[in-house]
Amino acid sequence: MDLFSLWSVALTVLGYVITLFLIPMVLLTKKRQPASTVAWIIAIIVLPIIGGALFVFFGINRIDRRTRRKEQAARHIDRSLPGLAQYHVIPGEALTPQERRLMRIADELGGTRPTLGNKIEVLADTNQTLGLIEQAIQSAENSLHLEYYIWQPDRTGTRLRDMLVEKARQGVTVRFLYDSIGSLFLSKRFLKPMRSAGIAVAPFLPGPTFRERWSLNLRSHRKIVVVDGQVGFTGGMNIGDEYIGRSRHYGFWRDTHLRMRGPAVLQLQQVFAEDWYYATGEELTQPELFPDPTETGNISAQVIADAPAGGTRAFHSLMFAAINEAQHQVTLATSYFVPPLALLTALETAAWRGVRVRLLLPGKSTYLWTQLAGRSYFDALLSAGVEIYEYQLGSLHSKTLTIDGCWSLIGTPNFDYRSLLLNFEVGVVSYGIRVARDLEEQFENDLNDAERIDPEVFARRPLKHVLGENICRLFAPVL
């Protein structure tokens, strides 16, 4: 037997050993999502070594070992601060039965209460959004808190970093929390000026141990800016040149972000404080970080944060409930569309009930396999009467949902397994027509730069496309 044959036999045996070892591990760790369990088992059997390596990096969720720490953070950073009670919405006859039901669900899932008196601006232009964030940073007098999934060390990221450095030198307390995988290119050299200026810098995950660094799941997908506890920003936009249309590869970047004033900003501050404690162990409970709002509006809203700990997934359940409550129309924009079965059924059922359901999805995606997996759902949705549009002007990165023109969700979660089951996400639920109307107007404008999927044309697509879609769909729960 030659050397090549020996290596072949050794690799085959190693593949079987890995398969026999990992399949029981998959069965023990994947309890809530049978589809995810099956997808990982198929990957390990078909590609024993490669599939096994992917499971080690992407499939093992080690959040259980940190759940106690996360719960401890929630206790230390009390979500029901006494100062917020005066702004809580009291469900009464002024609300419709639909709004009361959705409000109760959001209360239970999010651990927060809707607050009165918010001013919320929907931002559709990423250059305008960046300008407003820079303006808010420059106006800071006491504290600046920033948490991002992706912060690129390019021209845009460097400019914003230098602004933070300057504010720190002026005596403003600055804390910067970034995701270790999303912001992988933030080097020690890039961060050194921040630390030298006294900025507290911390990575979110993975943790410090070698075992924790194996896992590429459990990302902090949040985008948060809180200035002096008075002004807050959140939504889909990260920090980097591509997010303001400076990348030739991505082209025009379409995203949706929010600027908030009012008591809901304190809830956004609470989310950052919990994450900061979770990552660093430092408690942020100082009263000056949670001041009474100096500027308010007339919008009722609450901030919802979701994390892959415990048995409930807030955004998955909230989206499911909201779609099922729809009586007239649903508009959904998302940059990644790989829906869990329950949400797919909710969309189809709403359309069968006569609700006008419209989806706005990217015409081109960062990850081809994700887009192919998403298109495998189109046949059933189109048969139910769902209208599907693919954005053509550039990169679509918005994450918005409106129900009947009177309820809306804007934030960081996409309509896919990863956002809804594996990531740390944050969003803002708004009650009433103000925000929903702005989002629906933007949705209509975006349709001018989108192509509607024709059911008859789509049904005649080449078989190789169908094959590619269905293969990618097998791995949908792990994409």
Please give the single-letter amino acid code of residue 259: R
| CA dist list (Å): 227 to 215, 232, 289, 476 | 32, 6, 9, 38
Contacts of 204 (CB under 8 A, 6+ apart): 147, 177, 178, 179, 180, 219, 220, 275, 278, 279, 424
Pairing type for strands 143-148 and 173-178 reads parallel
Region of residue 379 (left: phi > 0; alpha: psi -120 to 50; beta: else) = alpha
Phi, psi torsion values for 334, nearest 5 degrees: -150, 145
Q: Please, which residues bridge with residue 394 across strands?
A: none
Could you give the residue ranges of the DSSP H alpha helices within 111-174? 126-139, 155-169
3-state helix, strand, coil split of the chain in percent (to 5) is 50, 20, 30
At 387, list the tokens.
């209208």
Pairing type for strands 356-362 and 329-333 reads parallel
Q: Please, which residues bridge with residue 337 across strands?
A: 415
| Catalytic positions | 221, 223, 228, 397, 399, 404
Question: 65: which DSSP letter?
Answer: G
